[in-house]
Amino acid sequence: MNRTKPLGVFDSGIGGLTIVKALKKILPNEDIVYFGDTARVPYGTKSPATITQFAMQNTKFLIDRNVKMIIVACHSVSSVCLDDLKKTFDLPIIGVIEPGAKAAVKASKNKRVGVIGTRATILSGAYERAIKKLSKEIEIVAKATPLFVPLVEEGWANNPISYLIAKTYLATMIQEKIDTLLLGCTHYPLLKTTISKIFRNRVKIVDASAETVLETKAILEKNNLNNTGKKKPSMRFYLSDITPNFSEIGQRFLGSNLDEVFRASLSE
Ligand code: DGL
For residue range 192-238, what is the model confidence (pLDDT) as tens digits? Answer: 999 999 999 999 999 999 999 999 999 999 999 999 887 788 999 99
* Contact 18 CB / ligand 1 (< 6 Å): no
* Average pLDDT value for residue range 37-41: 96
Q: In this model, does residue 240 exceed pLDDT 80?
A: yes
Q: How many residues does the chain have?
A: 268
pTM: 0.96
Q: In this model, does residue 241 exceed pLDDT 90?
A: yes
Q: Is 185 a catalytic residue?
A: yes
Do 7-95+211-263 and 97-208 fold alike per CATH? yes
CA of 72 to the centre of ligand 1 (A): 11
Which entry of 33, 185, 198, 264 is annotated as an active-site residue?
185
* Separation CA 146–CA 22 (nearest Å): 24
Q: In this model, does residue 268 exceed pLDDT 80?
A: no
CA of 46 to the centre of ligand 1 (A): 10
Q: In this model, does residue 30 exceed pLDDT 60?
A: yes
What pLDDT does residue 191 have? Answer: 97
* Contact 189 CB / ligand 1 (< 6 Å): no
For residue range 167-191, what is the model confidence (pLDDT) as tens digits? Answer: 999 999 999 999 999 999 999 999 9
* Contact 42 CB / ligand 1 (< 6 Å): yes
Percent of the chain with pLDDT over 90: 91
* Average pLDDT value for residue range 18-36: 95
Q: 139 pairs with which residues across the strands?
A: 112
Distances (CA, A) of 53 to 43, 96, 236: 11, 19, 24
| Amino acid in the structure at residue 71 | I
Q: Is 74 a catalytic residue?
A: yes
CA of 149 to the centre of ligand 1 (A): 7
pLDDT confidence bin for 1, thresholds 50/70/90 = low
**Would you list the domain boundaries of the chain?**
7-95+211-263, 97-208
Q: In this model, does residue 40 exceed pLDDT 60?
A: yes
The 3-state DSSP class for residue 177 equals coil
Q: In this model, does residue 37 exceed pLDDT 80?
A: yes
Backbone angle region of 256, left / alpha / beta, with phi > 0 → left and psi within -120 to 50 → alpha: beta
CA of 54 to the centre of ligand 1 (A): 13
For residue range 142-172, what is the model confidence (pLDDT) as tens digits? Answer: 999 999 999 999 999 999 999 999 999 999 9
Give the right CATH number for 97-208 from 3.40.50.1860, 1.10.10.10, 3.30.420.40, 3.40.50.2000: 3.40.50.1860
- Shortest-distance Cα residue to atom 2 of ligand 1: 74
* Contact 69 CB / ligand 1 (< 6 Å): no
- Shortest-distance Cα residue to atom 6 of ligand 1: 42
CA of 139 to the centre of ligand 1 (A): 25
Pocket-testing residue among 185, 188, 190, 243, ligand 1, by greatest number of atoms within 8 A of Cβ = 185
What pLDDT does residue 128 have? Answer: 97
Spatial contact of 65 and 17, defined as CB atoms under 8 Å apart: no
What pLDDT does residue 267 have? Answer: 65
* Separation CA 20–CA 135 (nearest Å): 29
Q: In this model, does residue 87 exceed pLDDT 90?
A: yes
Indicate the CATH number for domain 7-95+211-263. Answer: 3.40.50.1860
Average pLDDT value for the chain: 95
- Shortest-distance Cα residue to atom 7 of ligand 1: 42
